[in-house]
């Protein structure tokens, strides 16, 4: 009898000590050597690209661009740079690369212009900065970081955002700098077909939003996103990319997230914040939260797209409900991945 009671007490003691299912899942997915010193993930847009419709040469070109952008991030993280500086530097490289729909290479609005959106957020103090409908500023992500670091505001738009960036010394370019031959031809084609013909035959023609999420060596998170938005968008339309909580979010208590896809759905679902909130309140781990939001919540309402995310342990999640997402990730333990398809 005494043995029975001892066992019963031992059982209750162990039951109280055993991890919750969240912790058990988290532990399973935690990198083998414990917390990562640093981790980084980037995306270059999600869409309908697959092994059949994306030419090999294009895939290789995207992979090379992703690799050179993430290599810069790795170098900075190894040297101890802070998370938001890494996000800014990596996104700048992708904005300058005309393959992506951000900075040079952005898609055009219905009236043939370029209007750029970007945002950045720091997980340590929830500071953030965003710009929308910005023109003439070579690197919108720098404008977003400027708003975060130097202004008393969080979000500037249009002419005011451009003026603020110029006053603070950011580089001016003529708007024609952003417009590439490929995007211009696509715009002309869309004008002629007046939207009757979808550009489904070209899986990457209107894709390429860029984003970056980082855990730095000091244990802080940051996220950023930059885009030209959606092809043929209405003049003045604002997507999810500059909306904190929709396309971008970072909180040192949970994770850093950057999204890409049909922005209206990302805003309605508050996708990036929803992932953080699921971790915070529902005690889900990073993968569970990203999958629940992207593969179920977003998909069930018809929103296509994906996210990249990193948590405070350096776990990385890259989830999409489209056929492909241009992406790459790396961590201090030697993980190096570049991918396009499922
Ligand atoms: N999310 C972007 C927007 O709606 C577009 C994209 O990521 O492809 O503006």
What is the per-residue pLDDT across 257-291, written as a single tens digit (0 to 9) for each?
999 999 999 999 999 999 999 999 999 999 999 99
Could you tell me if residue 308 is inside a domain?
A: no
Q: How many domains does the chain have?
A: 1
The helix (run of H) or strand (run of E) holding residue 128 is strand 128-134
d(CA 46, CA 210): 10
Tell me how crowded residue 304 is: count the other CB atoms within 10 A of its CB: 18
C-alpha closest to that of 165 among 194, 187, 135, 188 = 135
- 81 close to 40: Cβ distance less than 8 angstroms: no
pTM above 0.75, yes or no: yes
pLDDT in the model for residue 204: 62
User: Cα of 129 to ligand 1 centre, how many Å?
Assistant: 18
Q: Which atom of ligand 1 is nearest to the CA of 247?
A: 1
User: Cα of 130 to ligand 1 centre, how many Å?
Assistant: 15
Q: β-pairing, 155-157 with 128-134?
A: parallel
Could you tell me if residue 299 is inside a domain?
A: no
Q: Which atom of ligand 1 is nearest to the CA of 266?
A: 1
**45 ligand 1 Cβ < 6 A:** yes
Q: Which residue has the tokens 């900065």?
A: 129
**47 ligand 1 Cβ < 6 A:** no
Could you tell me if residue 122 is inside a domain?
A: yes
Ligand 1: residue whose CA is nearest its atom 4: 263
The helix (run of H) or strand (run of E) holding residue 121 is strand 116-122
3-class DSSP state of 232: coil
244 CB-contact burial (10 Å; exposed 0-12 / middle 13-18 / buried 19+):
buried
pLDDT exceeds cutoff 90 at 249: yes
Could you tell me if residue 180 is inside a domain?
A: yes
pLDDT in the model for residue 40: 98
pLDDT exceeds cutoff 60 at 17: no
The helix (run of H) or strand (run of E) holding residue 16 is helix 2-17
User: Cα of 27 to ligand 1 centre, how many Å?
Assistant: 33
**241 ligand 1 Cβ < 6 A:** yes
pLDDT in the model for residue 145: 98
* Residues of the domain holding 102: 35-236+327-341
User: Cα of 190 to ligand 1 centre, how many Å?
Assistant: 18
209 is catalytic: yes
Could you tell me if residue 92 is inside a domain?
A: yes
Q: Which atom of ligand 1 is nearest to the CA of 262?
A: 4
Packing angle, helices 83-96 and 56-78, rounded to 10: 150
**Arithmetic mean of pLDDT, 26-51:** 77
d(CA 293, CA 279): 11
Could you tell me if residue 227 is inside a domain?
A: yes
Q: What is the overall mean pLDDT for the chain?
A: 90
User: Cα of 238 to ligand 1 centre, how many Å?
Assistant: 9
Pocket test of ligand 1: the residue of 134, 262, 327 to mutate, having most ligand atoms within 8 Å of its CB, is: 262
What is the DSSP secondary structure assignment for residue 294, as one 8-state letter? I
d(CA 311, CA 330): 13
Tell whether the torsion through CA atoms of 290, 121, 72 and 98 is positive or negative: positive
- 265 close to 298: Cβ distance less than 8 angstroms: yes
C-alpha closest to that of 65 among 103, 16, 118 = 103
Which is higher by pLDDT, 340 or 4? 340
**128 ligand 1 Cβ < 6 A:** no
pLDDT in the model for residue 192: 86
Could you tell me if residue 300 is inside a domain?
A: no
d(CA 214, CA 252): 11
C-alpha closest to that of 260 among 327, 293, 211, 299 = 211
Q: Which atom of ligand 1 is nearest to the CA of 46?
A: 8
Strand partners, 318: 308
d(CA 284, CA 292): 10
Residue among 109, 162, 209, 227 flagged as catalytic: 209
What is the DSSP secondary structure assignment for residue 155, as one 8-state letter? E
pLDDT tens string 163-210: 999 999 999 999 999 999 999 998 998 888 865 444 444 666 667 999
Could you tell me if residue 6 is inside a domain?
A: no
Q: What are phi and psi of 279, to 5 degrees?
A: -65, -40
């Amino acid at each position: 009898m005494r043995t029975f009671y001892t066992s019963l007490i031992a059982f209750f003691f162990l039951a109280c000590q055993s991890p919750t299912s969240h912790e058990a899942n988290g532990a399973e997915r935690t990198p083998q050597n414990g917390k990562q010193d640093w981790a980084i993930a980037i995306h270059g847009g999600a869409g309908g690209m697959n092994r059949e419709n994306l030419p090999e040469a294009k895939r290789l070109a995207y992979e090379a661009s992703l690799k050179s952008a993430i290599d810069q991030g790795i170098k900075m993280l190894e040297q101890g740079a802070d998370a938001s500086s890494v996000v800014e530097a990596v996104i700048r490289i992708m904005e300058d690369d005309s393959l992506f729909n951000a900075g040079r290479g952005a898609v055009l609005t219905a009236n043939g212009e370029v209007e750029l959106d970007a945002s950045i957020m720091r997980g340590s103090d929830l500071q953030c900065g965003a710009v929308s409908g910005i023109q003439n500023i070579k690197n919108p992500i720098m404008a977003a970081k400027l708003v975060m670091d130097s202004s008393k505001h969080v979000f500037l738009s249009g002419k005011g955002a451009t003026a603020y960036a110029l006053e603070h010394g950011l580089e001016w370019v003529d708007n024609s700098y952003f417009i590439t031959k490929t995007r211009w031809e696509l715009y002309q084609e869309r004008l002629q077909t007046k939207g009757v013909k979808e550009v489904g035959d070209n899986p990457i023609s209107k894709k390429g939003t860029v984003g970056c999420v980082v855990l730095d060596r000091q244990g802080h998170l940051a996220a950023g996103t930059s885009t030209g938005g959606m092809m043929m968008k209405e003049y003045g339309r604002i997507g999810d990319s500059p909306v904190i909580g929709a396309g971008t979010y970072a909180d040192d208590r949970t994770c850093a997230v950057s999204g890409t896809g049909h922005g209206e759905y990302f805003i309605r679902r508050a996708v990036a914040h929803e992932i953080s909130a699921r971790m915070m309140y529902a005690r889900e781990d990073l993968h569970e939260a990203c999958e629940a939001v992207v593969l179920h919540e977003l998909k069930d309402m018809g929103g296509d797209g994906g996210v990249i995310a990193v948590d405070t342990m350096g776990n990385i999640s890259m989830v999409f409900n489209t056929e492909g997402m241009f992406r790459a990730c790396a961590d201090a333990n030697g993980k190096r991945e570049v991918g396009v398809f499922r």
